[in-house]
């Protein structure tokens, strides 16, 4: 869960009625003029290629042409900027008829893509949302903790949680005030006192971290420091907060510095921890999914079963391999999707079908639009044996009976809002 979830769902509900929606993804890491030129040429070439499919006189051409020219201008503007402000990836969704113009920049580059379709292409954005789940990074210290909130791979906030230093402890740093005979006793007492106030600060910092965790659902916790400091801090966390710790890291060298280098270290450390956690989570998710499907539980694998579940409005969470490539069809009348080749008419309503070149994008958009979640997983896992797609199903029984009544779109819209 990330702050992109709402954006993804909003985009997934966009559907063009006139000219198609333009989806653009770019890698905007440029160190020299050649790389900028490569990006400009890629976009120009794709725009030319796209317009070639809309001969002059085609009804949708003028609006699409205007949108694409606007995209070109925007990209030209980007490539003439001195620095893309530490952003490596750029995404844009645009359609004049829908009043859609949504440029977005991220810390991670995308695979370059410019396409036009009735729906926005969201696989790359969904993948990014998966990989950049928010993290709260805590570096405990004697006075409390330094806390960094990392969102979408970028530092969102940075704060120092500081407890109060009691007046007596300021006195302690002036040992000359004590008479020689009292010194040992005084030191012991101060030592105990110091422990007590470190403990108090630790407790206050832990409470504040817990509060922030509760305000950021889905955020992971990354603890940084010596094993001893981290363990002491962790003991102060309630169980539910402790369960969200995904990594305990030693303090990297760049954290000793201040400012930019330190922030970069925080972001990189958190991103690596979240990415590693995500890879492991993906493997578990796929194992659970395949297990559910094999024993006839709340899971299905393979394009045909997934598409059927989606048409019936039963998909709770779609699991898709990042390089899923497959064509399918969509019904012109009831909008049902299909994965089988060679179908002539819609099995639900008998309507005419049109080819959907990128079935994966259609599955992602349909799932998100129905209020479901999407998990884009890396290639080379058990899912590949099931042609790269599966889905967890909703607990509720299917509302649509195949053949009895058309389950799409009524059934899916109802259960999608549940």
> Residues interacting with Zn ion, by CB under 5 A?
331, 333-334, 336, 346, 348-349, 351
For the CB of residue 401, give the shortest distance to Zn ion in the complex, in Å: 15
> What span, in angstroms and rounded, lies between the C-alpha atoms of 195 and 169?
11
Closer of 95 and 331 to Zn ion (Cβ): 331
Three-point CA angle 224, 147, 88, nearest 5°: 85
Among 349, 350, 302, 298, which Cα is nearest to 328's?
A: 302
Three-point CA angle 91, 94, 96, nearest 5°: 165
Closer of 241 and 346 to Zn ion (Cβ): 346
For the CB of residue 155, give the shortest distance to Zn ion in the complex, in Å: 48
Closer of 285 and 346 to Zn ion (Cβ): 346
Phi and psi at residue 59, to the nearest 5° = -55, -40
Q: Give the strands of the sheet with 89-95, arranged side by side.
A: 100-106, 89-95, 21-27, 113-117
Listing DSSP states for 65-131 in one string gives HHHHHHHHHHHHHHHHSS--TT--EEEEEEETTTTEEEEEEESS----EEEEESS---HHHHHHHHH
For the CB of residue 345, give the shortest distance to Zn ion in the complex, in Å: 8
Closer of 63 and 334 to Zn ion (Cβ): 334
Closer of 299 and 406 to Zn ion (Cβ): 406
For the CB of residue 56, give the shortest distance to Zn ion in the complex, in Å: 33
For the CB of residue 304, give the shortest distance to Zn ion in the complex, in Å: 16
For residues 51 and 65, is the Cβ–Cβ distance under 8 A? yes
H-helix segments, 113-248: 123-131, 167-172, 183-215, 227-235, 239-242
Closer of 351 and 398 to Zn ion (Cβ): 351
For the CB of residue 116, give the shortest distance to Zn ion in the complex, in Å: 24
For the CB of residue 356, give the shortest distance to Zn ion in the complex, in Å: 13
> What span, in angstroms and rounded, lies between the C-alpha atoms of 291 and 104?
37
Which residues partner with 92 through β-bridges?
Answer: 24, 103
For the CB of residue 351, give the shortest distance to Zn ion in the complex, in Å: 4
Closer of 286 and 337 to Zn ion (Cβ): 337
Query: Residue 136, SS3?
Result: strand
For the CB of residue 360, give the shortest distance to Zn ion in the complex, in Å: 21
| Residues 6+ positions from 172 with CB-CB distance below 8 Å | 190, 193, 194
For the CB of residue 9, give the shortest distance to Zn ion in the complex, in Å: 24
- Cα dihedral sign for 240, 227, 229, 190? positive
Omega prior to 409 cis, within 30 of 0: yes
Tokens of 323: 């390089």
Closer of 115 and 349 to Zn ion (Cβ): 349
């Amino acid at each position: 869960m990330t702050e992109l979830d709402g954006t993804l769902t909003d985009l997934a509900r966009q559907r063009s009625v006139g000219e198609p929606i333009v989806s653009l993804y770019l890698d905007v890491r440029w160190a020299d003029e050649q790389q900028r030129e490569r990006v400009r040429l890629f976009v120009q070439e794709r725009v030319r290629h796209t317009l070639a499919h809309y001969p002059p006189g085609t009804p949708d051409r003028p609006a699409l042409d205007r949108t694409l020219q606007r995209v070109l201008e925007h990209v030209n503007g980007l490539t003439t900027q001195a620095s893309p402000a530490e952003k490596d990836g750029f995404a844009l969704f645009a359609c004049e008829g829908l009043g859609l113009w949504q440029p977005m920049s991220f810390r991670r580059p995308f695979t370059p893509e410019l396409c036009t379709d009735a729906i926005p292409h969201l696989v790359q954005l969904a993948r990014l949302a998966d990989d950049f789940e928010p993290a709260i990074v805590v570096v405990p210290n004697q006075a409390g903790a330094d806390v960094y909130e990392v969102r979408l791979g970028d530092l969102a906030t940075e704060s120092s949680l500081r407890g109060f230093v009691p007046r007596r402890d300021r006195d302690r740093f002036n040992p000359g005030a004590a008479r020689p005979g009292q010194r040992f006793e005084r030191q012991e007492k101060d030592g105990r006192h110091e422990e007590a106030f470190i403990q108090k600060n630790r407790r206050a910092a832990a409470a504040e971290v817990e509060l922030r965790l509760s305000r950021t659902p889905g955020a992971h916790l990354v603890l940084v420091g010596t094993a001893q400091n981290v363990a002491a801090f962790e003991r102060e966390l309630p169980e539910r907060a402790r369960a969200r710790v995904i990594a305990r890291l030693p303090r990297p060298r760049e954290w000793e510095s201040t400012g930019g280098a330190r922030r970069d270290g925080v972001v990189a450390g958190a991103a690596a921890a979240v990415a590693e956690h995500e890879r492991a989570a993906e493997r578990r998710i796929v194992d659970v999914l395949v297990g559910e499907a094999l024993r006839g539980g709340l899971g299905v694998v393979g394009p045909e079963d997934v598409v059927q579940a989606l048409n019936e409005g039963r998909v709770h969470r779609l699991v898709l391999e990042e390089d899923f490539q497959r064509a399918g069809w969509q019904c012109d009348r009831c909008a049902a999707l299909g994965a089988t080749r060679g179908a002539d008419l819609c099995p639900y309503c008998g309507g005419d079908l049109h080819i959907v070149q990128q079935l994966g994008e259609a599955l992602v958009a349909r799932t998100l639009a129905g209020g479901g979640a999407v998990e884009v997983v890396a290639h080379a896992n058990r899912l590949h044996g099931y042609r790269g797609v599966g889905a967890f199903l909703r607990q509720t029984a299917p509302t649509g009976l195949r053949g009895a009544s058309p389950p799409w779109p009524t059934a899916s819209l109802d259960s999608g809002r549940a």
